[in-house]
Amino acid sequence: MPSTTIAQVGVRGFGTIHLERIDRLTPSGRVSLIATADPGGPLNDRDVAWYPSLSDLLTEHAPDIVSIATPIGTHAPLAIEALQAGADVFLEKPPFASLAEFAQVMEVARATGRHVQIGFQSLGSAGVTRLRDLATDGTLGTLTRISARGAWLRDRGYYERARWAGRRTLDGARVADGVVTNPLAHAIATALWLAGATTPDSITAITTELYHAHHIEADDTSFVRIDLVEGPPVCAALTLAAPGQGTAVVTLEGTQGVATYEYTRDVLHLHTRAGTTHETFPRLDLLENFVDHLETGAPALVPLAETIGFMCVLEATQLRPAPVQIPEQYLTWEGEGSAAHPVVDDVEYWMDQALHHQEGFAAAGAPWADPAAVAIWRPNADPGPLG
């Protein structure tokens, strides 16, 4: 069988990770990289055709898959161009900068009969499937809490790496960068998948409380609560202004036990009356799964349609005033120059308090929090482009 041909759009930054995934599948003959597109120029160590744009590439090649790892605001036009050219699309997360773009790409995919898979890699783990089973098979009893927690560190250099980094808008267009929508987006996507919140009808309200410690436009320290039609709310406390690079986890709490999942390491910690167990799970690469889907009809693990819950959260973060700056008196700056980073006073304690009370930082009493930062969006009351 001829290999699946792939064109990679964006070869720097996270594009290098996409290239590594292609490289892993190439020796087996599953895929072949036929061209790249990047306005920054070709990679010197790649003997493959390069073009400054996807449009230029598509005039010379007809790839089976266009793999996209470019700035968030470019995802929609590139995906539409690839779909209309007859290619299927493997798209880096977050999918798009708005629900309107999501709806537009969904319509083009339907009209062309092509497929789109989103790179929420955590959803390729067998551990997530196991966690979802635990939520429904009675092991945890009645589910009472679904929470996500991520305490990471990002320095000034992280936001200096690109013009769009740390921006909500750029040149008049929405970018939608931020801790909720980009670096810790997997926490939200994983928690929503576990809750089965994959349609807008499953969500009644989304409460956001967004702050930034860095001197940026987007959020870097935030609380989100997603109220569902069925089941407990999904709550997330996320920061990029922690003392160090901590572990990102999704936790299910029930009347009979607690399951905590480290989604970056695929490790599940299960605590029940029978005792405590720890298990590490394998992860299927989503590009490989996408190739399987296109070649054999195997189920796609993260089809575009099933990321709508995440896109509703992204929209909620943007349909609100700008994040609130945390006052300097509650910040400690460590390091110098591009390596400098802020640490919010007792941020991990207040994250735990916000998750415990399920009402956010201001309600928990964090001294740096501001009730004015809290906003609520109801998707069903204002469905916008989703009708």
C-alpha 31/C-alpha 4 separation (Å) is 5
Structure confidence at residue 381 (pLDDT): 73
C-alpha 134/C-alpha 285 separation (Å) is 23
Structure confidence at residue 93 (pLDDT): 96
pLDDT in tens, 245-258: 999 999 999 999 99
65 pLDDT band (50/70/90 cuts)?
Answer: very high
C-alpha 194/C-alpha 368 separation (Å) is 32
Q: Is the CB of residue 148 less than 8 Å from the CB of residue 234?
A: yes
Structure confidence at residue 385 (pLDDT): 61
First-to-final CA distance of the chain: 43
Percent of the chain with pLDDT over 90: 92
> Which pTM value belongs to this model?
0.95
C-alpha 138/C-alpha 136 separation (Å) is 6
367 pLDDT band (50/70/90 cuts)?
Answer: very high
Using CB atoms within 10 A of its CB, is residue 2 exposed (0-12), middle (13-18) or buried (19+)? exposed
1 pLDDT band (50/70/90 cuts)?
Answer: low
pLDDT in tens, 307-339: 999 999 999 999 988 999 999 999 999 999 999
Q: State residue 68 phi and psi, 5-degree precision.
A: -120, 125
Structure confidence at residue 68 (pLDDT): 98
In a 3-state reduction of DSSP, which class is residue 125?
A: strand
Q: Is the CB of residue 4 less than 8 Å from the CB of residue 64?
A: yes
Lookup result for tokens 């609560």: 225
pLDDT in tens, 10-55: 999 899 999 999 999 999 999 999 999 999 999 888 889 999 999 9
